[in-house]
């Protein structure tokens, strides 16, 4: 399941039972991984989180959000142009204008 509001406010990704919620207004980033909740308030500077020995760098200046999960890098452009999600080796690109670049979302996110 992939829920993306094209107004750049909320990005919710559920993959392999891991919920990742990102508010792209630069106020809050909540990541729930393996039952561990990590909540960060960010004032627009670089925030680094180490979870399960995996470094998660987040640039909250509205340029880019990078999340490394299960050895897969998930780059997200928060400028409202494009959202690229790599899960299980399958690249899913979504335009934030509500038009899907890749329609096969169910097989990518069961």
Residues 54/67, Cβ–Cβ less than 8 Å: no
Query: Cα separation of 105 and 73, whole Å?
Result: 18
CB 73 within 8 A of CB 86: yes
Q: Are strands 82-87 and 18-23 parallel, antiparallel or unpaired?
A: unpaired
pTM score, two decimals? 0.21
pLDDT, tens only, 65-90? 444 544 454 555 444 444 455 544 45
Where exactly are the structural domains of the chain? 2-108
Percent of the chain at pLDDT exceeding 90: 0
Helix (H/G/I), strand (E/B), else coil: 74: strand
**Rounded Cα–Cα distance for residues 93 and 103 (Å):** 9
């Amino acid at each position: 399941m992939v829920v993306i509001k094209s107004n750049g406010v909320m990005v919710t990704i559920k993959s392999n039972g891991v919920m990742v919620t990102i508010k792209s207004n630069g106020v809050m980033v909540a990541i729930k991984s393996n039952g561990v909740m990590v909540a960060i308030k960010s004032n627009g500077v670089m925030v680094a989180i180490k979870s399960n020995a995996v470094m998660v760098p987040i640039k909250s200046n509205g340029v880019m959000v990078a999340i490394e999960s299960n050895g897969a890098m998930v780059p997200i452009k928060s400028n409202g142009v494009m959202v690229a999600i790599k899960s299980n080796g399958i690249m899913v690109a979504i335009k934030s204008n509500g038009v899907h670049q890749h329609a096969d979302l169910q097989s990518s996110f069961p």
